[in-house]
C-alpha cells in the first residue's frame, strides 16, 4: 500500500521517479508526488497532486534537472484523498515519503504540540515533524531518523531528504518493504519493489528492518541502529523489464492471465526429478516433511483460496489433516500448533502484514514454517524457516491470477511429497500424478482458447447486481476465488456457496435473471450439483454451467455451457479458474473499470 521510490545518481531524477511511480501505481493510485533538490542546490521543491501519476506528470516541471529526488504514489490511510494529504510532506528542513501507518501519531502530535503547525490530516506529516524536531536537536539526518523511529509505533518505509544534504537520500523501515541497489553507471535507487528500477538493475537487496540507509551517487551505506556498517545481501531476479510491462496487452491482468502456462511450468519444472517432487533447489530435504502430522496453511485473499484448494487436495488424496486459516484471524487467536505441525504461509507479495504477523505467531509454536512466496527476498520469505518461491514473475495487476495457479501447483507438489513420505501413495501413483501436473500448462493454454466466447458472454453480466458461484468440493473452493475475482474488479456483488448449502438460506436470493456460475467437475458429486443447479434454474436463474459433459442443451439446466476437458478431478481447478478469471476481466472492462487498478484496493496490503 503506497509505492515509494528514491533516486540519486548520474541521470535526471524526475523521469526515473515518474516512470518508477507508474510501475508502482498498483500499490496505490489516489494521489502522487515528488520532492527533489531544485537545481541541485539546498532548496527542496515539491510537486504533488490528488490523482494518478499521469496527473502528477502534468504538474511537474519539464526543466527539472535535479539528480536526486523521492516519489510517492498513495493509498489513503489517514486523511482523505487531497493534494494536501499527498506525499511528500515537508516539515522544517525535511521532506518525507512514507508507506505504512504510524499508530501513535496522535500521541506524538500531542506530546510535541505539533497540532497548529500541521497542514494535512496524515500520520506521515506527524512523522516528518518528529524527524525534523530530532534533526534540529541532533544536527545529523541519520541520527535524527533513528531517534524518531524509536518513538514511533507502527509500520513504515521512510525516505527523506534533508535540506542541508543535497544529493543524499536517507531511509529506514519497519515491516513495510523496501529494496535498494546501486550501480556505478547510474547511481543509487530505493523503492517499494524492484519493478520500479528493474530497467537499471536486476540486482538488489531487501532493506533490513531498523537499519539506516544513506544513498548517494557514489554508493549506499547500510548501518544498524548502533551505527555499525552492514554489508547488503544482494539478490538477482531472473526476469527483466518486459515482465513488468504490458507488452501489447491492454491491461496487466489480461497479460498475466495469459502468462499462466509459463508461470506454472517455471514453478514446477525445477522441482520435479524422475517424475517425483524434489525440493533440493529450495535447499529443502525430506527431513522437513518426515515427522509432519498435520498442516496449517495461513494466507489472505487469493493466496488463501489457493491454500484451500491445496488443503482439500492434500487431505483427500494423502490423508493428512490440513486446516486453512485466514491470517488476519489467526494472528489474534490462540492457535493449536505443535512441533509436528508444518505451517505453510502463502503469499504472492511476501509482504501482506496479516500473513507476516501470523507467521511470527506460528514461529513461537513450531519450528516448521514454510513460505510459499512469489517475491524473492520479501519479509515472509526471509522470516520463514524454509522458503519455496513460485516463479510466476512480477504480478502487477491488483487481481491475482498467475500467482494463484502457481501456488496451487506448488501445493500439489508438496502434497505428493508428503503423501510419499507418509506412505499414503505409492511411487507409480505419485509419478502419474506429477506427470499430470506437468501437463497443467497445456490445460490452461486450452482454456485460454475460450477467451472470445467468455468475452461475448459478459455482455449479459455487466448489468447484474449479484452473481452467485456454486460448486461442491474443489469446485466450491475454486468458486470462492472466482467470486473474489469478479467482485474486486467489476464491483458486482459476487458470492460463492457450497451448492448443498443453497437451500439452507441462500436460494431465497435467486430470482428471475440472477446469474449463477455453476461449477460441476467433481465426479463423486456431479449428480448432486446438477440437482442443485436445476433448483436455481427453476427459480429463474441465468445459469452458466462449467462441466465435463459434452453438448449440454437442456434449457431446464443451464443457459450457457462451457465444456471442461476431461482431466483427473484434482486438476479441473486449473481449467475452471481460467474461465472465471476471464469472466471477471471482461465484465470489469465491459463496465468501464480499469481491472488493474480497482477502487479502494492496492496490490500489496501492508496495513492492517
Q: Of 302 and 369, which CB lies nearer to ligand M6R in the complex structure?
A: 302
**HEC letters along 461-527:** HCCCCEEEEEECCHHHHHHHHHHHHHHHHHCCEEEEEEHHHHHHCHHHHCCCCCEEEEEECCHHHHH
Q: Using an 8 Å Cβ cutoff, are 222 and 213 in contact? A: yes
Q: How far is the CB of 307 from ligand M6R (least distance, A)?
A: 10
The residue at minimum Cβ distance from ligand M6R is 301
CB of 346 to ligand M6R, least distance (A): 7
Q: What are phi and psi of 265, to 5 degrees?
A: -60, -45
User: At its nearest, how many Å lie between ligand M6R and the CB of residue 598?
Assistant: 8
| Closest to ligand M6R by CB, 59 or 601 | 601
Complex with ligand M6R: residue 16 or 392, whichever CB lies closer: 392
- Annotated active-site residue 159? The verdict is no
Torsions phi, psi for 26 (to 5 deg): -60, -15
On whether the CB atoms of residues 281 and 270 are closer than 8 A, the answer is: yes
C-alpha cell at 536: 436455481
Closest CB 583 distance from ligand M6R, rounded Å: 14
Cβ(86)–Cβ(74) below 8 Å: yes
Which residue's entry shows cell 527533489? 36
Q: How far is the CB of 359 from ligand M6R (least distance, A)?
A: 11
C-alpha cell at 158: 521512510
**Distance in angstroms (rounded) separating the CA atoms of residues 548 and 550:** 6
CA distance 137 to 501: 64
Whichever of 49 and 347 has its CB closer to ligand M6R, that residue is: 347
Contact between 140 and 223 under an 8 Å Cβ cutoff? The reply is no
Question: In Å, how far are 206, 231, 275, 323, 358 from 384, measured between CA atoms?
Answer: 15, 21, 28, 19, 11
Min dist. Cβ of residue 302 to ligand M6R (A): 3
Say which residue the cell 502468462 belongs to. Answer: 259
Shortest separation between residue 18's beta carbon and ligand M6R, angstroms: 25
Kindly state the smallest distance separating residue 1's Cβ from ligand M6R, in Å: 10
Would you say 464 or 605 has its CB closer to ligand M6R? 605
Comparing CB distances to ligand M6R, the nearer of 114 and 389 is: 389
N-to-C CA span, the chain: 11
Burial 555-572 (b: 16+ CB within 10 A, else e): eebbebbbebeebebbbb
Return the number of the residue (303 or 502) whose C-beta is nearest ligand M6R: 303
**CA angle (542, 544, 546) in 5-degree steps:** 160
> Three-state secondary structure along 185-247?
CCEEEEECCHHHCCCCCCEEEECCCCCEEEEECCEEEEECCCCCECCCCCEECCCCHHHHCCC
Binding site for ligand M6R (CB under 6 A): 300-303, 347-349, 352, 355, 398-400, 484, 488, 604-605
By three-state DSSP, how is residue 608 classified?
Answer: coil
Closer CB to ligand M6R, residue 349 or residue 520? Answer: 349
Of the two residues 179 and 215, which places its CB atom closer to ligand M6R in the complex?
179
Q: Maximum Cα–Cα distance for the chain, whole Å?
A: 79
Name residue 172's beta-bridge partners: 158
**CA Rg value for the chain:** 25
Closest approach, Cβ 396 to ligand M6R, in A, equals: 12
Cell output for 490: 467489476
For residues 154 and 127, what is the distance between their CA atoms, to the nearest angstrom?
11
Other Cβ atoms less than 10 A from the Cβ of 160: the count is 29
Q: How far is the CB of 137 from ligand M6R (least distance, A)?
A: 39
- Residue of 2, 60, 324, 580 with catalytic role: 2
E strand or H helix at 5, and its extent? Answer: strand 3-9
Nearer to ligand M6R, 341 or 604 (CB): 604
Query: Could you tell me the smallest distance in angstroms from the CB atom of residue 356 to ligand M6R?
Result: 9
Cell reading at 225? 541502529
Nearer to ligand M6R, 347 or 572 (CB): 347
Report how far apart, in Å, the C-alpha atoms of 223 and of each of 211, 231, 350, 548 are.
6, 8, 24, 59
Active site residues: 2, 603
Amino acid at each position: 500500500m503506497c509505492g515509494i521510490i528514491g533516486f540519486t545518481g548520474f541521470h535526471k531524477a524526475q523521469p526515473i521517479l515518474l516512470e518508477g511511480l507508474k510501475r508502482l501505481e498498483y500499490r496505490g493510485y489516489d494521489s502522487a508526488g515528488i520532492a527533489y533538490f531544485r537545481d541541485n542546490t539546498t532548496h527542496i521543491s515539491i510537486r504533488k497532486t490528488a490523482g494518478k501519476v499521469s496527473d502528477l506528470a502534468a504538474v511537474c516541471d519539464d526543466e527539472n534537472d535535479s539528480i536526486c529526488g523521492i516519489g510517492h504514489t498513495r493509498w489513503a490511510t489517514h486523511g482523505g484523498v487531497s493534494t494536501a494529504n499527498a506525499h511528500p510532506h515537508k516539515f522544517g528542513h525535511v521532506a518525507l515519503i512514507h508507506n505504512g501507518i504510524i499508530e501513535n501519531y496522535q500521541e506524538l502530535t500531542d506530546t510535541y504540540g505539533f497540532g497548529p503547525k500541521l497542514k494535512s490530516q496524515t500520520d506521515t506529516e506527524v512523522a516528518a515533524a518528529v524527524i525534523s524536531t530530532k534533526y534540529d536537536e541532533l544536527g545529523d539526518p541519520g541520527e535524527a531518523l533513528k531517534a524518531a523511529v524509536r518513538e514511533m509505533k507502527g509500520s513504515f518505509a521512510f525516505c527523506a531528504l534533508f535540506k542541508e544534504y543535497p544529493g543524499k537520500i536517507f531511509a529506514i523501515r519497519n515491516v513495510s518493504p523496501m529494496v535498494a541497489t546501486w550501480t556505478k553507471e547510474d547511481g543509487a535507487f530505493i523503492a517499494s519493489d524492484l519493478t520500479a528500477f528493474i530497467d537499471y538493475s536486476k540486482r538488489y537487496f531487501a532493506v533490513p528492518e531498523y537499519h539506516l540507509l544513506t544513498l548517494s551517487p557514489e554508493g549506499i551505506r547500510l548501518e544498524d541502529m548502533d551505527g555499525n556498517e552492514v554489508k547488503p545481501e544482494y539478490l538477482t531476479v531472473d526476469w527483466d523489464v518486459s515482465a513488468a510491462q504490458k507488452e501489447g496487452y491492454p491491461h496487466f491482468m489480461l497479460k498475466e492471465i495469459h502468462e499462466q502456462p509459463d508461470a506454472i511450468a517455471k514453478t514446477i519444472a525445477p522441482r520435479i526429478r524422475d517424475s517425483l517432487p524434489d525440493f533440493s533447489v529450495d535447499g529443502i530435504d525430506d527431513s522437513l516433511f518426515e515427522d509432519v502430522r498435520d498442516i496449517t496453511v495461513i494466507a489472505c485473499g487469493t493466496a488463501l483460496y489457493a491454500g484451500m484448494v491445496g488443503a482439500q487436495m492434500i487431505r483427500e488424496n494423502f490423508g493428512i489433516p490440513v486446516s486453512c486459516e485466514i491470517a488476519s484471524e489467526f494472528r489474534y487467536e490462540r492457535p493449536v500448533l505443535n512441533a509436528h505441525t508444518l505451517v505453510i504461509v502463502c503469499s504472492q507479495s511476501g509482504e501482506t502484514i496479516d500473513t507476516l504477523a501470523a507467521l511470527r505467531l506460528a514461529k513461537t509454536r513450531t519450528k516448521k514454517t514454510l513460505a510459499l512466496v512469489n517475491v524473492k527476498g520479501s519479509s515472509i520469505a526471509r522470516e520463514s524457516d524454509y522458503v519455496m518461491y513460485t516463479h510466476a514473475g512480477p504480478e502487477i495487476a491488483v487481481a491475482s491470477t498467475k500467482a494463484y495457479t502457481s501456488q496451487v501447483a506448488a501445493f500439489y507438489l508438496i502434497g505428493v511429497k508428503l503423501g510419499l513420505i507418509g506412505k499414503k501413495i505409492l511411487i507409480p501413483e505419485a509419478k502419474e500424478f506429477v506427470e499430470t501436473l506437468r501437463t497443467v500448462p497445456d490445460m490452461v493454454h486450452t482454456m485460454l482458447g475460450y477467451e472470445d466466447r467468455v468475452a461475448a458472454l459478459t455482455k449479459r453480466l455487466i448489468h447484474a447486481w449479484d452473481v452467485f458461484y456454486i460448486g461442491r468440493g474443489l469446485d466450491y473452493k475454486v468458486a470462492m476465488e472466482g467470486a473474489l475475482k469478479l467482485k474486486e474488479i467489476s464491483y458486482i456483488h459476487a458470492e460463492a456457496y457450497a451448492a448443498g448449502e443453497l437451500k439452507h438460506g441462500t436460494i431465497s436470493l435467486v430470482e428471475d435473471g440472477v446469474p449463477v456460475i455453476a461449477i460441476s467437475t467433481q465426479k463423486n458429486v456431479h449428480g448432486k450439483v446438477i440437482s442443485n443447479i436445476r433448483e436455481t434454474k427453476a427459480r429463474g436463474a441465468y445459469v452458466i454451467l462449467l462441466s465435463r459433459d459434452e453438448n449440454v442443451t437442456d434449457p431446464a439446466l443451464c443457459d450457457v455451457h462451457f465444456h471442461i476437458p476431461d482431466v483427473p478431478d484434482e486438476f479441473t481447478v486449473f481449467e475452471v479458474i481460467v474461465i472465471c478469471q476471464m469472466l471477471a476481466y471482461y465484465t470489469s472492462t465491459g463496465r468501464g473499470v480499469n481491472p488493474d487498478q480497482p477502487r479502494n484496493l492496492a496490490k500489496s496490503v501492508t496495513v492492517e
